[in-house]
């Protein structure tokens, strides 16, 4: 990805939460008028510029919102946010135990983030894990190793037309032509677009601790917002935040100790971050894979 196209891929990486600031490539500079006896400057002729490629991701890495609870009390939620246009978003399976350092320096990626839950099964394939949900991504398909879990959980998908969908269950054979991205094995906290079937059980039987860190949110404008909270969040507070934001769906991928939200070269994974998400126990932080966000091939073929 060239530096110019990356500027367009990421519209904003804000260091403050007052709003997203556009990052744009340097354009041609207008020439200064010649200093002469006339006080009227020569007219500046603006060059015809080619259309800009569509923006794939807008990010605010220091966002905050004042949120009102049902009992009338308030709290400040601080978080990092990445908002994607699903029409131009490609997701890749990024495999490897503890490869966060490589992710930190990956110039082709917009974001690395936590995928669905799994269980360890030594000797099973290269990673020694069984997924709890099916994955259909830009670089392949991975079937769940725990069929019962996959059938009882929820999924996020992007259709071939670039529309975001939140549903329940496994990836069915007939859906392979309908979806180009499918992330199963998720916990559905909120879904206003579809009622949960009786077969749905989710990842958690109950959420009583302040464990929520990574959030997949469907926005009313059809875009996907991925969030990492700055502090562990109670589920009731998450519901209040979601209602205030007007999300149509909120899904959770995994528990707190596996949280990843890496913007290469900008928001990096570190030992300090590992200590934070694990509560000080580094033995529970290793992760065998992440999901890698990057522009689609169609985005790359758009006019520069």
Per-domain residue ranges of the chain = 53-300
Those residues whose C-beta lies under 8 Å from the C-beta of residue 26, and which sit 6 or more positions away, are none
**250 φ, ψ (degrees, to nearest 5):** -135, 120
Q: Name the pTM for this structure.
A: 0.84
Tell me if 70 sits within 8 A of 241, measured CB to CB: no
| pLDDT in the model for residue 208 | 67
| pLDDT in the model for residue 29 | 36
In angstroms, the CA 56 to CA 228 distance is 19
| pLDDT in the model for residue 221 | 97
Per-residue pLDDT of the chain (304 residues; tens, 9 = 90+): 554 455 445 554 544 333 443 333 333 333 333 333 344 455 656 566 556 678 999 999 999 999 999 999 999 999 999 999 999 999 999 999 989 999 999 999 999 999 999 999 888 888 999 999 999 999 999 999 999 999 999 999 999 999 999 999 999 999 999 999 999 999 999 999 999 999 999 877 666 667 778 999 999 999 999 999 988 888 899 999 999 999 999 999 976 678 999 999 999 999 998 888 888 888 888 999 999 999 999 998 876 6
| pLDDT in the model for residue 21 | 36
Tell me if 245 sits within 8 A of 237, measured CB to CB: no
């Amino acid at each position: 990805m060239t530096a110019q196209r990356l500027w367009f891929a990421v519209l904003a990486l804000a260091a403050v939460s007052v709003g997203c600031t556009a990052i744009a490539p340097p354009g041609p500079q207008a020439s200064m008028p010649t200093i002469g006896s006339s006080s009227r400057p020569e007219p500046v002729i603006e060059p015809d510029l080619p259309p800009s490629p569509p923006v794939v991701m807008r990010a605010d890495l220091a966002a905050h919102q004042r949120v009102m609870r049902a009992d009338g009390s308030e709290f400040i939620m601080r978080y990092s946010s990445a908002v994607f246009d699903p029409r131009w978003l490609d997701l890749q399976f990024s495999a490897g135990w503890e490869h966060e350092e490589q992710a930190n320096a990956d110039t082709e990626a917009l974001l690395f983030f936590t995928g669905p839950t799994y269980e360890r099964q030594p000797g099973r394939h290269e990673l020694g894990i069984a997924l709890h949900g099916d994955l259909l991504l830009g670089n392949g398909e991975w079937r769940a190793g725990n069929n019962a879990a996959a059938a009882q959980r929820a999924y996020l998908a992007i259709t071939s037309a670039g529309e975001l969908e939140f549903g329940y269950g496994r990836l069915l054979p007939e859906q392979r032509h309908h979806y180009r991205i499918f992330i199963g094995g998720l916990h559905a906290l909120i879904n206003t677009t579809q009622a949960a079937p009786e077969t749905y059980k989710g990842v958690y039987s109950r959420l009583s601790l302040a464990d929520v860190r990574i959030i997949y949110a469907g926005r009313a404008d059809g875009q996907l917002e991925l969030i990492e909270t700055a502090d562990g969040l109670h589920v009731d507070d998450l519901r209040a935040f979601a209602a205030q934001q007007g999300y149509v769906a909120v899904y959770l991928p995994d528990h707190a100790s596996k949280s990843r939200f890496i913007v290469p070269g900008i928001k990096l994974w570190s030992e300090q971050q590992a200590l934070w998400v694990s509560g000080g126990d580094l033995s529970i932080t290793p992760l065998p894979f992440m999901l890698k966000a990057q522009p689609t091939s169609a985005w790359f073929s758009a006019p520069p």
